[in-house]
Structure 1
């Protein structure tokens, strides 16, 4: 579907960011209750759009209504999660070290630290999640919770869906008496519009979910600024899954069915899709591949999000399958429609994988490569050769873990989330979730894009020294009027 919306010019983008900066001066002073009510109201207004929103999103993305219904629920739930975070209050990390004026040789000053918002945040909508990672998704929700105005660049693949969500947010702004420009919405398909948003004078930070090429470009744009700003890009990940011997011998059939489902879930259009599998060569491995093939063969091809993603999948999976020593294990039925994907699984030796960097690249879609290693040492070498990941998974028994301690020990250096006996597809929205990882999974592995700690991307610490108590932010005043947990002289207190 052609994008019917006017592309924002560089001049218009600069004006948008100026208005966002003006809104920041007002919004950051709003109370916890006002901000939390605003987030709750956005959630309610999105729900009030009803089935029309789901139908439009399905029309634009080819995603089924049940999937979109679940994604909308996740989106509204995370808005409410951040509202709850604000009301609880301790996320600002208030720390107080009281003065010791009689300390010798130098008196100790009164020092109080907390997190404050950075300023206007630019969010680039993601193609594969029209709700949860787009207009009112996790980046927007966490930035608003942190006290930052947001400017969203709608993804052109679901521009009308984005407009509908935008209207819901604007209605919430009116209901809650928030500054009119605390949330703004622009359209653009050119590199120039993305560059202008990153390089606008008043942009304070950027959130992006998409390709490695796109994410790196935004980082480069930031580096060219007079004052570089943080760019939090979530980019490529092939999410290696390690299958160990004992579990392959005992559970091959169940594992085959489980991973056929994970590889093809949503036609593989998840950043946590298991695109790489590792195992030590054995009869049990080939038995597992037989069961996996049966599962892949049974999957009905389905339309991908749009023609561009389908074209890239056909190109990249085709290139991978043409590589020397790569064997096609199974490919699903021939597609009936132009943008339907054919799920595929391939096999390669550890030696051949290590010698061919192309096989390390992400193929976005329902494709996975099994690397058959001659022994544990080669498996570890293969795993270490793979760049930073969002997830890595171990499928095994307790005996397997005991037998492969050296392998287990390196897992935290590979990814932000380490799974045991599960599938990486599916990201729980909660305080303990880490959706991030070493580069190039993300541009800053210290942060997560999911869960309440996602708000930490949009803040910075400030220390108040010897400040009059009545003029301190409420979170740092002696009486603790917000009744939040704080560290006072190295002890947690409320």
Structure 2
């Protein structure tokens, strides 16, 4: 049987650029995984790993014009956006190279023997070792930063784990181009090209998660697809960790004081965040709590005006466009839901942005669960709330999210807003403070507590779109935003691909170099019991 071809498609026209490769057969997947598994010993060389990551960054930067052109032809994300994404991707690779050389990710801990303790403590030395081959499932909306050369790949390689990437069908040519550059970088650093392998095809993704030599997986995509892979990972004879980012509504709460102070600014900023990348960011604000009244009306008017200026956008593929249009239509048909600016088709391939509106009382009345699920594309839902109880009630309906954003007044943000005695004095119930029914505003402190329970990143007076690659970053959240408590962005993303090992009373000569008394590699370590 002939292999199924993999085509590169222009989402602006729906036309094929040409066949890139073919979908991987079960044998192809097995060969790729076994080749990656065989590269583990070479990847254990930390200096070579760091050199590889830096060489990869250099080659990607050097081929930047070609990469951006190829990715734009497959995603319609535009050269400006893709140039920035490439810079983020290569910066991420260099940051992980620095981490490998510095060594803090190994989390070396040494407890000196102390026979005087009760019970006596033996000599213990602990650090972390790589898991093995990691399966990475590339995202549709980030053809670089969450794809073949992206954060999952970079962090796994930094941990010393070879990678097999299941490429996304929306950008196969970009994936193959980046894979070839990573292979060249590996060979430049003296490593086998097999430290990174790429496979294509839906069935290949299933074969990959089931392969007995795959030890962990990273995924960015839909709840439906991620949950299917998560279930497959846990149903294996030997279950493996599955670090999935599945979907997020990313709620925003605008306080009455903030709306009174800068309604037009907030409305414009919201429109920019909703339409960035045609609304195809995993941290797009999809539900916004806005106070009832004239200030909330001004904010909605500013949002509508800014959305009109934004113009139509092209989604990543035809299926996503059809799902977006169907999702908007289904949500618009719900009771009490209006579409002040109706999102919809704009020509044969593009869509126009918009927003839906619903009173909080209607949402709290039930039957609106669809509004609490992510709609991928340039649309958001404004929920008009009357006071603290309604705002807290709506937040109480939400599942886990990647982000939650608060728009506060200057006084609220500075902690100088007048305190509300009812908030401080209210007894805590099982669902939060038992607050009165009065149409009073939720306090900033109360909101911080509510959204911290919902999200992995809390934003104040900013917008969630744009995820800085930094040591303190956390990109994850409670389920279904993620299937684990780990981050897929930032230095600590490497922790997903490591496991701790403790050595008790092991002679120094038999210890790994990282744990020997002389510390020949100079890695940071915590020591207990030194005199």
Category of TM-score, reference length = shorter chain: over 0.9
Displacement after TM superposition at 1:406 (Å):
2.2
Displacement after TM superposition at 1:128 (Å):
0.4
| Matched residue SS, 1:279 | strand
1:139-288 counterparts in 2 under 5 A? 139-188=152-201, 190=202, 192-288=203-299
Q: Which residue of 1 aligns with 2:461?
A: 421
| 1:484 equivalenced with 2:523 (yes/no) | yes
Question: What's the CA shift string for 1:58-99, capped at 9, x where partnerless?
Answer: 111111111111100100000000001111111211000011
| Matched residue SS, 1:298 | helix
In structure 2, the gaps of 5 or more residues are 1-8, 10-15, 421-442
Q: Is the 8 A contact 2:59 2:185 kept in 1?
A: yes
Task: Give the count of matched residue pairs.
Answer: 485
1:61-460 counterparts in 2 under 5 A? 61-100=75-114, 102-103=115-116, 106-188=119-201, 190=202, 192-331=203-342, 335-336=346-347, 338-354=348-364, 355=366, 356-400=368-412, 402=417, 404=443, 405-444=445-484, 446-460=485-499
Counterpart-to-counterpart distance in 1, 2:87 and 2:336: 45
Question: What's the CA shift string for 1:411-463, capped at 9, x where partnerless?
Answer: 2111000000000000000001100000000001x210000100001011110
Question: What's the CA shift string for 1:187-230, capped at 9, x where partnerless?
Answer: 11x2x221110000100001110000010001111122100001
Counterpart-to-counterpart distance in 2, 1:153 and 1:300: 34
Displacement after TM superposition at 1:12 (Å):
2.1
CA RMSD, Structure 1 to Structure 2 (Å): 1.7
Q: Is the 8 A contact 1:331 1:345 kept in 2?
A: yes
Counterpart-to-counterpart distance in 1, 2:459 and 2:117: 52
| Matched residue SS, 1:463 | strand
Question: What's the CA shift string for 1:292-311, capped at 9, x where partnerless?
Answer: 11111111102111111111
Q: Which residue of 2 aligns with 1:12?
A: 28
Displacement after TM superposition at 1:155 (Å):
0.9
Displacement after TM superposition at 1:485 (Å):
2.3
Question: What's the CA shift string for 1:33-74, capped at 9, x where partnerless?
Answer: 211111000111112223121111111111111111110010
Displacement after TM superposition at 1:474 (Å):
2.1
In structure 1, the gaps of 5 or more residues are none
Change (3 A) 1:344 1:105: closer
Change (3 A) 1:409 1:106: closer
Displacement after TM superposition at 1:470 (Å):
2.2
Q: Is the 8 A contact 1:244 1:400 kept in 2?
A: no
Displacement after TM superposition at 1:353 (Å):
1.7
Counterpart-to-counterpart distance in 2, 1:426 and 1:108: 48
Q: Is the 8 A contact 2:261 2:409 kept in 1?
A: no
Counterpart-to-counterpart distance in 2, 1:218 and 1:112: 36
